[in-house]
Structure 1
Amino acid sequence: MNAVLLTIGVMIVLCLIKVPVAIALISAAIAGGLHAGLSMPETISALNDNLLVGSQVGMTYIMIGAFAVALSRSGILDVFAQWVAGTVGGRESHHLAGVKWMLFGIFIGASILSQNAVPVHIAFIPVMIPPLLVVLNKMRVDRRAVACILACSISCSYLLLPTGFGAIYLNEILVPNVNEVGQAYDLVIGNSDAPKAMALPVLGIVLGMLVAVFISYRKPRDYITTSEAAHHLDPSNAATLKPAQLLATVAALAAALACQLFYDSLLIGGMVGFLILSASGVFKWSEQDDVFTEGMRMMVQIAVIITIASGFAGVLTATGEIEPLIQASAELMGGNKAIAALLMLLVGLFITIGFGDSFASVPILAPIYVPLALTLGFSPLATVALLGASAALGDAGSPASTISLGATSGLNADGQHDHIRDSVIPTFIHANFGMVAMAWIAAMIL
């Protein structure tokens, strides 16, 4: 068996039987390296030599986690959520028709901001959503629609807009991996090419979200308003935000965004924002270590997976069996680009859903997908679209994805939203089916 196929197969099987993803990646890499004839020291060396690129991205994730926790300590999201709940909480249900669409718009806007302008990832969901559950209950909104709105909006944001997490995915992971692997094929793309390539796949996610809202989950659904949810409407429980805290929070957000744009560094932006919040007294100076550690815990799984995935890709390259696999795959497909594009997308979906992170999927898929796409005659933009979409498929909809876990953490605050039935399955269907179709079209026409 080809060592590359064995390595990826072992990794998928281990992930599916719930072995921790980091262990699954290392174990599979070792198995593949030994099968290819590498010694154990050579395999470990190939793994270690390629960790640097992933560790740079991983450190950015950890810093952003710390910034997200620091922002949550300011109370700004609590105040906003309670303001919305208090504003509409006393109205009768027949007066809430426009409120539903206002809330859906807020969820979309917050999801986009959380990825691109205020990079807190999914940290806003468990803070913003629980106070609004009583309002959603009064309007009889199906929470599966909200889960799809959150998952689709977050996915669209980082896949298309090159700031915040979008800058990490597009400019620090996707483009460098394409250029590194494509160097042997004289392929060089710029950062501006990535959003062009991802536009159609993202459109597929948007269409899926619209189907979820207007077709799949448009009918009313009843929930019980628990005492835990109702207490958010009690004015005595309202969070307060001092003017100095508000100014410090706004300054931290502005500084973080400015550093992103000026220095092209989300790491520096997150660090500056964290320091401003710390120095302004939003939380005590003595609590800095605790806040940073809490943020690190929130993001460390993703950071570790991304780091190890780079080493995993290095072992795949070191086996020397990528090229034979590419040639055999091209011959098997008979040069049929339509079938090849569909198979590549479905394989990417299968791999990513195994461990639930699109950022870590790119370095795993790039050594195979880029040469295969170019060998089959796909254009540079089509190659980027295939790789970028294949790695992102399954992120929204994986049981282990931070996106689906984040949606559940907010919507299940009162125990009435099942993770698998109400988050994973709906987001998997609506975020991925449309993306597969539109990514396939992008590969055919770009």
Structure 2
Amino acid sequence: MNAVLLSLVVLFGLSLLRVNVIFSMLTAAVVGGLTGGLGMTHMVEVFTEGLKDNASIALSYALLGAFAAGLTETGLPERLVKRAVRLVSGKQPGDTPRAAARYGVLVAIAFIACLSQNAIPVHIAFIPVLIPPLLALFNSLQLDRRAVACALTFGLITPYMFLPVGFGAIFHETVVSNMTMNGLTVNASMLPKAMMIPAAGMVVGLMTALALSYRKPRTYSVVTESAAGAGMGEAEAAESRTGAGGTWAGLGAVAAMLAVQLSTGSMIYGAAAGLAVLLITRVIAWSRADRVLTDGMRSMAYIGFVMMSASGLGAVLRETGHIESLVQAAVHTVGDNRALAALLMLAIGLLVTLGIGSSFSTIPLIATVFVPLCIELGFSPLATVALIGTAAALGDAGSPASDSTLGPTAGLNADGRHDHIWDTCIPTFLHYNVPLLLFGFIAAMVL
């Protein structure tokens, strides 16, 4: 039995049973490590060593959560929500305007998510700031939050696949360097052309989710003391307490965060700079600072722990050597059948990324074997780029351990009405991984 396959079966089985994601990954690591012959002691050492690979990301997310909580103190999110409500109100006497409003909100959210990857590369930092205050608006529009999760995940994945700026530049460079290292010289200018067809598959998935799967109104029960309600109440209090000065301080904090992050390339120092502005301007009262920042860190720290656990699981699976054996078995199975080879390579990329939760970390694992295989089977350089880029991106949507699903859940579940597996992972898996498989295969065959 292949340790990678068995480990992933355990991970997804436990996740579907709504077992905690971190506990599911710990169990999957034990099963994978023991099946791969590592032994319990060695498995624990490898897992522990792997945790540090995402330690800085965990700290980044915690500080971004604190910054988001501090920004709420300025009243800026509440003002934005009230403006959105005023734009929508008065245009909902019938079903058609309400449907138009729902689509307008979803398109706006997808657009903002796209900006977070390239134009303003803050990744998922905007979600805890933007989404929880909007939950009341979603409820008034009877908006299906699964559609919102699909809109957010689309914006968190598609831009880095296709556009060579922001996180996209990192993704493209990772693909190029690993392909060149394994014997096929390519350049970054080939990525947008190679990934155009797979990116079109993401667009088809988004349109299907918004226009067909989740177009119907959905009612969510409202709990008066929910997290979202409490957050909205605190935001209203902050708005009356800080006034217009708080808004300007909030805008200044956002500007400082972006400037520092873009200049240093560090989310940690970017979030710290934004927090410094909020503290210096006394928008966050000293008497409340400790509670506000601690609560904010708690809201995002869970994502960091999941990412660290995924890093440990990935280290264990790599240590077993069964990723390479899984790929080699596929090579012997396909022979010289290019179509079957393309499908198997995409499927392997899907399995690996689903388990690890990081498309960026998948590239070095698959490029080592995929590049020689593609050369031997006569795939063009563009087709090879499309296969490796798509195989890496596959699974980012739908993985319980991916920040592209964890981020949307963290915002949409602020009031406890959104399940990570059933309302984020499964909808995004169906609407993005299935089209990516199809369109990635088409790209491999026609390029």
Identify the TM-score tier after normalising by the shorter chain. 0.7 to 0.9
- Aligned partner of 1:109: which letter? F
- C-alpha distance 113-278 of structure 1, shift in aligned 2 (>3 A): farther
Partner of 1:84: 84
Is the partner of 2:394 in helix, strand or coil?
A: helix
- C-alpha distance 238-277 of structure 1, shift in aligned 2 (>3 A): closer
1:374 to 356, 371, 374: 371
| Alpha-carbon distance in 1 for matches of 2:36, 2:255 | 51
CA displacement, residues 154-174 of structure 1 (integer Å, 9 cap, x when unaligned): 4435555567xx63x862x78
| 1:331 to partner: Cα distance | 1.0
| Alpha-carbon distance in 2 for matches of 1:376, 1:27 | 33
| Alpha-carbon distance in 1 for matches of 2:252, 2:410 | 27
Is the partner of 2:413 in helix, strand or coil?
A: helix
| Alpha-carbon distance in 2 for matches of 1:423, 1:40 | 33
- Aligned partner of 2:111: which letter? G
Q: Is the 8 A contact 1:396 1:431 kept in 2?
A: no
Q: Is the 8 A contact 1:257 1:269 kept in 2?
A: yes
Q: Is the 8 A contact 2:198 2:390 kept in 1?
A: no
Instruction: Calculate the aligned-residue CA RMSD, in Å.
Output: 4.4
| Alpha-carbon distance in 2 for matches of 1:91, 1:394 | 35
Report 1:226-265 matches (<5 A).
239-240=239-240, 242-265=243-266
| Alpha-carbon distance in 1 for matches of 2:238, 2:97 | 22
| Alpha-carbon distance in 2 for matches of 1:205, 1:263 | 31
| Alpha-carbon distance in 2 for matches of 1:149, 1:322 | 32
| Alpha-carbon distance in 2 for matches of 1:217, 1:14 | 27
Partner of 2:268: 267
- Aligned partner of 1:149: which letter? A
- C-alpha distance 21-86 of structure 1, shift in aligned 2 (>3 A): closer
Partner of 1:60: 60
- C-alpha distance 430-309 of structure 1, shift in aligned 2 (>3 A): closer
Partner of 2:357: 358
- Aligned partner of 2:357: which letter? S
2:413 to 409, 412, 415: 409
- C-alpha distance 309-213 of structure 1, shift in aligned 2 (>3 A): closer
CA displacement, residues 81-105 of structure 1 (integer Å, 9 cap, x when unaligned): 1222234424452593764554344
**Number of aligned pairs?**
424
Q: Is the 8 A contact 2:363 2:388 kept in 1?
A: no
| 1:407 to partner: Cα distance | 6.7
Partner of 2:333: 332
Is the partner of 1:93 in helix, strand or coil?
A: coil
Q: Is the 8 A contact 1:107 1:150 kept in 2?
A: yes
- Aligned partner of 2:333: which letter? L
| TM-score, normalization by structure 1 | 0.75
CA displacement, residues 18-64 of structure 1 (integer Å, 9 cap, x when unaligned): 45444444554455445555455544444444444322333333332
Report 1:38-53 matches (<5 A).
38=38, 40-53=40-53
Report 1:377-388 matches (<5 A).
377=374, 379=381, 381-388=385-392
| Alpha-carbon distance in 1 for matches of 2:223, 2:8 | 45
| Alpha-carbon distance in 2 for matches of 1:155, 1:203 | 12
Task: Flag structure 1 segments of 5+ consecutive residues without an equivalent.
Answer: none
Identity level (%)? 31
- C-alpha distance 125-302 of structure 1, shift in aligned 2 (>3 A): same
- Aligned partner of 2:137: which letter? L
Partner of 1:200: 197
Partner of 2:6: 9
| 1:310 to partner: Cα distance | 3.5
Q: Is the 8 A contact 1:148 1:427 kept in 2?
A: yes
* More divergent stretch after superposition (127-136 vs 96-105): 96-105
- C-alpha distance 67-407 of structure 1, shift in aligned 2 (>3 A): closer
Task: Flag structure 2 segments of 5+ consecutive residues without an equivalent.
Answer: none
Q: Is the 8 A contact 1:175 1:189 kept in 2?
A: no
Partner of 2:286: 285
| 1:13 to partner: Cα distance | 0.8
Is the partner of 2:84 in helix, strand or coil?
A: helix
